[in-house]
Each structure stands twice: as C-alpha cells, then as structure tokens.
C-alpha cells in the first residue's frame, strides 16, 4: 500500500514556475504527479525537486539557485491570491482566459464545453457584413441577400 507523506507545496510550486520558465511546464507537472501520486515519493524538499530537475534535464545548479533564492516565490503567491479572488478554496482550480474559473475536478464533457465557450468568446465569427457573432446565444442577425 502506498503511503504519501504530506508537506508544504510552496517550493514544489516554485519548481513548477521555474520549469515553466525553461519551457518545461507540462513535463514538470507530469513529473510531480508521477512522483507523488504514482510512486508515492515526496516532492517537498530541495533535494526532492533537484532529483526531478535531473529527471527533466533541467540545469541542476540553475534550478538550485532559483529555488534557494526563492526567485519564483512572489509569482506563486500572486497566482494563489488571484485564484482566491476568483473563488478558489482548494485544488484543483483552473482559470481559463483570465475570466472563467473552474473549481474542483470536472468531467471531460464539462471541461470541453467550457473550452468551447472560451474559444467562441475570444474568437468571434464574422457574418457576411462583418458583424461579429458570439455563438448560439448571440443577438446578431445575418444580413439578407
């Protein structure tokens, strides 16, 4: 039976911010999840995260400096504060297009529906006369031929 130790995730979030700045956002998230949830290994200490840095091919010393200098601390705090302002009370909590908040785990159909709404809202279609259409609830009326 797997028994995960729990701990403060601040440094892990700073590691994720550092990895993202290096172009490895998805890989870093996958590594954190695989390590903690898949192998039941901790991801809380500098040594834990340096091991993940090695696994991801990130520069170990650059990662060490970023984490010991707490280079991404304020960014992580700002992200958390922004999420709380949007209504986050726990994880997971996803923000789409800086306007839509998705609290908790969601099924794939619900997420897909929201992604389509965000896309439609941010990429209006144009009718023949150039009038924007915002989707099925729009008030725009097509021009007559």
The SS3 assignment for 97 reads: coil
Per-residue pLDDT of the chain (145 residues; tens, 9 = 90+): 455 678 888 999 999 999 999 999 999 999 999 999 899 999 999 999 999 999 999 999 999 999 999 999 999 999 888 888 888 887 778 888 878 888 888 888 988 998 999 898 888 776 666 655 555 555 544 444 4
Angle at 23 between CA 22 and CA 28, to 5 degrees: 90
Residue 31 C-alpha from the chain's centroid: 14
Burial string for 11-49 (b: 16+ CB within 10 Å, else e) reads bbbbbbbbbbebebeebbeebbeebbeeeeebbbeeebb
CA distance 49 to 68: 11
**pTM for the predicted model, two decimal places:** 0.70
Which of 4, 11, 6, 5 lies closest to 28, judged by CA?
A: 11
Angle at 73 between CA 63 and CA 45, to 5 degrees: 55
CB contact at 8 A, 28 and 16: yes
């Amino acid at each position: 039976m797997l028994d995960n130790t729990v701990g403060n995730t601040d440094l892990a979030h700073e590691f994720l911010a550092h990895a993202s700045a290096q172009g490895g956002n998805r890989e870093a998230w996958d590594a954190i999840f695989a390590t903690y949830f898949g192998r039941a290994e901790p991801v809380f200490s500098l040594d834990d995260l340096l091991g993940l840095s090695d696994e991801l091919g990130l520069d170990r010393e650059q990662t060490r400096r970023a984490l010991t200098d707490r280079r991404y601390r304020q960014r992580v705090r700002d992200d958390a504060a922004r999420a709380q302002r949007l209504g986050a009370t726990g994880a997971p909590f996803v923000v789409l297009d800086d306007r839509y908040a998705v609290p908790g785990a969601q099924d794939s159909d619900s997420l897909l529906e929201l992604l389509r709404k965000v896309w439609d809202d941010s990429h209006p279609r144009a009718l023949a006369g150039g009038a924007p259409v915002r989707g099925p609830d729009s008030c725009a009326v097509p021009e007559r031929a």
